């Protein structure tokens, strides 16, 4: 299954920049753009695949924050059929470690909707501390939306103070 096929209304409403409908052309454009950014160490785009059969399950991306290149912004999602199986519990810590290793960022931040319990569990798993309430621009809906901001400093991540599982990315 492709990324475009996994994007549903329920998933999109939790994401800032993945609209519905999400077409294969839109997915190819996104992948092309983030690959160029990755070549310049501005982004770390990752497809989340199931180990057992290679099924595409979702996406994780860490991108440098606009105007703050020392800060990485993590976004992540899984298709609805992959929720509740612990896949993000394995994938997110591996992505975080790779971002600190490859992008030379000083901190990792996440913006989460306050009622998104699964996403809040991911930021806790990563060891991210709450920064407070804020807003984030959501191009998928053309508006600013409220969110909770979280942060993990590089030193804390490198000291192994996060709860991430040991996995091979």
pLDDT in tens, 118-153: 999 999 999 999 999 999 888 777 878 899 999 999
pTM: 0.84
pLDDT in the model for residue 1: 56
Say which CATH class 3-158 falls into.
alpha beta
In the structure, what pLDDT confidence band is assigned to residue 20 with cuts at 50, 70 and 90?
confident
Task: Return the residue matching tokens 């939790």.
Answer: 14
Range with the poorest average pLDDT among 3-7, 50-54, 60-64, 70-74: 3-7
Q: Do 48 and 60 touch, CB atoms closer than 8 A?
A: yes
Task: Return the residue matching tokens 């695949």.
Answer: 49
pLDDT in the model for residue 68: 96
Flag whether pLDDT at 98 surpasses 80: yes
Distance between CA atoms of residues 7 and 112, nearest Å: 18
Tell me which residue of 43, 121, 52, 32 sits closest to 83, measured CA to CA.
121
State pLDDT tens for residues 43-69. 999 999 999 999 999 999 999 999 999
* Strand runs labelled E in the chain: 43-49, 56-65, 68-78, 107-112, 129-138, 143-153
Flag whether pLDDT at 167 surpasses 80: no
Distance between CA atoms of residues 155 and 29, nearest Å: 35
**What's the average model confidence in pLDDT over 93-102?**
94
**What's the average model confidence in pLDDT over 22-51?**
89
pLDDT in the model for residue 14: 75
Measured in whole angstroms, how far is the alpha carbon of residue 95 from the centre of its chain? 9
């Amino acid at each position: 299954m492709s990324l475009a096929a996994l994007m549903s209304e329920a998933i999109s409403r939790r994401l800032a920049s993945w609209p519905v409908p999400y077409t294969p052309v839109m997915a190819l454009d996104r992948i092309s753009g983030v690959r160029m950014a990755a070549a310049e160490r501005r982004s770390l785009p990752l497809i989340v695949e199931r180990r057992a059969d290679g099924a595409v399950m979702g996406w994780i991306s860490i991108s440098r924050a606009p105007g703050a290149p020392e800060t990485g912004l993590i976004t992540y999602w899984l298709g609805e059929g992959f929720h509740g199986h612990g896949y993000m519990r394995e994938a997110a810590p591996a992505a975080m470690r790779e971002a600190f290793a490859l992008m030379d960022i000083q901190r990792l931040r996440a913006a989460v909707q306050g009622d998104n319990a699964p996403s809040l569990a991911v930021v806790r798993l990563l060891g991210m501390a709450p920064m407070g309430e804020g807003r984030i621009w959501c191009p998928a809906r053309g508006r600013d939306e409220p969110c909770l901001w979280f942060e993990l400093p590089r030193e804390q991540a490198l000291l192994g103070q996060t709860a991430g599982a040991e996995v091979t990315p």
